Amino acid sequence: MTITSINPYTNEIIKEYNEMTFPEIESTIINTHQAFQDWRKTSFIERSNLMKGAAKILKKNAREYGELMTLEMGKVVKSGIAEAEKCSWVCDYYADNAEKFLKPEIIGTDAGKSYITYNPLGVVLAIMPWNFPFWQVFRFAAPALMAGNVGLLKHASNVPGCALAIENIFKEAGFPENVFRTLLIGSGLVGNVIENPLVKAVTLTGSTPAGRAVAKKSGEMLKKTVLELGGNDPYVILEDADLESAVQACFTSKLINSGQSCIAAKRFIVVESIKLQFEKLFMDLMRNVKMGDPMKNDTVLGPLARNDLRDELHEQVYKSIEKGAVCLIGGRIPELKGAFYPATVLTNVKKGMPAYEEELFGPVATIISAKNEEEAIEIANDSVFGLGAAVFTKDLTKGENIASNLLESGCCFVNTFVKSDPRLPFGGIKESGYGRELSYLGIKEFMNIKTVYIK
């Protein structure tokens, strides 16, 4: 069996890789487990120096890694460069803070001494997606390795070059052999890896169906999981919003990674008194989006990652129009080589349409009208997903209350678009998953939180 890397801009094969055999997989798992026995004993200073080395490599070679992302999944190159630089940031962040985050905590009890200590679990399997092929991996790997765990990466099958490049970054930085390894396997062998008793925990970023499958298998084996799944992020635009600023934030979020982001803006829920004005301003931006070669710095919209994903998106748009949605712009597959889909705006979207119910993973904006603030919040929460959300209003007290108390999601932003930050926890609720990555909370997900009691 082979794993094939295909350029979504040209549809040409970049490279074919041999899929690992079952004995090779078993050997790799054993080797990572053995590496863990020594790695867990290293000091935070040793780990920090190595992680800072990885950060420097990422920063130094940001363009090379950005171009690799562009080749394998179509990300515009300037975004790929920024992604590599963000990975450098998360490496530095945990190199600087892991020891503080995992410091034993003294707890006052009737014991002579009692405290909580954090011990690494061992081999952690990371099942990662193609849309942010470096960032998704490093936001797991930096805290996991700094905590004393070791990592196994099963990356998406369309970005094998990225997967191997990441493994090489850790090698080049001087990490001990087998502390971080890539498994070049398809999804059919993931269950076997989870079943291996040497694998202690699993983290997945991906679709909700993939999350269900991994959670089921991991649950059977009683293994800890963290799942970051899909989203249908609502952006609530209230009557008193600074409309030009709100539209710019919505536009920016919608086209991040050509719309292929779990936390990209998906549903624009606009109070009806300002809906037409919002649509006009939004359309002015969307109709001028430059689509083309993702290697050019002035390109805003590159191809989607695969042709089948583009076709699936178009089917969702078509079915929504059939059910009564109005397409203001886009909505047609362009006559271009590559997996392109144009900047598209759907309005008059209502419950029961794919554009209302489902995640549209691409440059398609959905506009939903609400009578008032209360109905806008109700619509925002009327989703099986709960990853990110945003609200736009000049009344910061009201905006903060809506974000902190009323919107049902793991990340709520006021007057700006949703984004991830190493300093803040990231994750969702409902069918967007569970557990948290990043911040001091993320590094503790794959630890044995142990009580020590001394009489």
pLDDT mean for each 10 residues of the chain (455 residues): 95 97 97 98 98 98 98 98 98 98 98 98 98 98 98 98 98 98 96 98 97 98 97 98 98 97 97 98 96 96 97 98 98 95 98 97 98 98 98 98 98 98 98 98 98 98
Which of the following CATH numbers is that of domain 234-421: 3.40.50.300, 3.40.50.720, 3.40.309.10, 3.40.50.150? Answer: 3.40.309.10
pLDDT given at position 1: 85
Q: Which CATH superfamily is domain 2-229+432-454 in?
A: Aldehyde Dehydrogenase; Chain A, domain 1 (3.40.605.10)
Sheet holding 433-434, edge to edge: 180-182, 150-154, 123-127, 199-205, 224-228, 433-434
Q: What is the pLDDT of residues 95-114, one digit of tens each?
A: 999 999 999 999 999 999 99
pTM above threshold 0.85 = yes
Active-site annotation holder among 83, 228, 358, 359? 228
- Is 262 catalytic? The answer is yes
Share the mean pLDDT of the chain: 98
Which residues make Cβ contacts (< 8 Å) with residue 15, sequence separation at least 6?
Answer: 4, 5, 160, 161
pLDDT given at position 126: 98
Active-site annotation holder among 87, 262, 411, 412? 262
Which residues make Cβ contacts (< 8 Å) with residue 157, sequence separation at least 6?
Answer: 3, 4, 186, 187
The ranges assigned to domains in the chain are: 2-229+432-454, 234-421
pLDDT given at position 421: 98
Q: What is the pLDDT of residues 202-245, one digit of tens each?
A: 999 999 999 999 999 999 999 999 999 999 999 999 999 999 99
pLDDT given at position 27: 98
- Is 411 catalytic? The answer is no
